[in-house]
Amino acid sequence: MKSKNRPLLPSLIRKKDDYIKRTNRGKNALKLGDQAPAFSLPNQQGKLTSLSNLLSKGPVIVTFYRGSWCPYCNLQLKALQSRLPEIHDLGAQLVAISPEVPDNSLTENEISKMSFEVLSDQDADVAAKFGVSWKVPDFVLAHMKVDHQLDIEKINNGNANIMPIPATYILNQQGIAVWRFVDVDYRVRSEPEDIINELKKLV
């Protein structure tokens, strides 16, 4: 699916930001030193991938993204893809998680062609366990549907109101969060260079 998503209008951004402040989104995000919750999620072929299996190979970068329709997510994941050889050389795995359903449309999008695990977290359940899910206000969903022709309910096969906050964690091989980037502003993302530098500390 090609992205038709454009930035929100300034008035909607202010309204959304006010909503986020009122509801204090992200306050329960997994903290440094916390044990990451176990999960097992399907990839775009429907094959289950577990966190325990990923950790058996070394540290794991877990990044939550909104969906293949989000241009900011695409840019972030492309940047991580470009550094994937370095990530692997440092013994780490990368996994990207969104609420998109693993069907034929998911196998055709740009993110699914990247060389790391792309997993489907229906209803953002795993994101909730990491403390990085939030309820999207109806006015934002309406804007996306009318102005961008994005039917998130259809894309996510059900729950359109629950999405992950774009967040990235580095877990050491024991599954402990040793680095994190959590920002409720979907336009602000972690830098691959910071991730690489943190991984070097684990070698």
* 73 belongs to the catalytic site: yes
Of these residues, 30, 41, 54, 73, which one is catalytic?
73
d(CA 134, CA 153) in angstroms, rounded, equals 15
Q: Which residues are registered as beta bridge partners of 182? A: 167
d(CA 99, CA 132): 12
**Exposed, middle or buried, 39 (CB in 10 Å: 0-12/13-18/19+)?**
buried
- Round to whole Å and give the CA distance between 168 and 6: 23
User: Exposure string (b/e) for 53-65, b if CB count within 10 Å is 16 or more?
Assistant: ebbeebbbbbbbb
Task: Give the catalytic positions in this structure.
Answer: 73
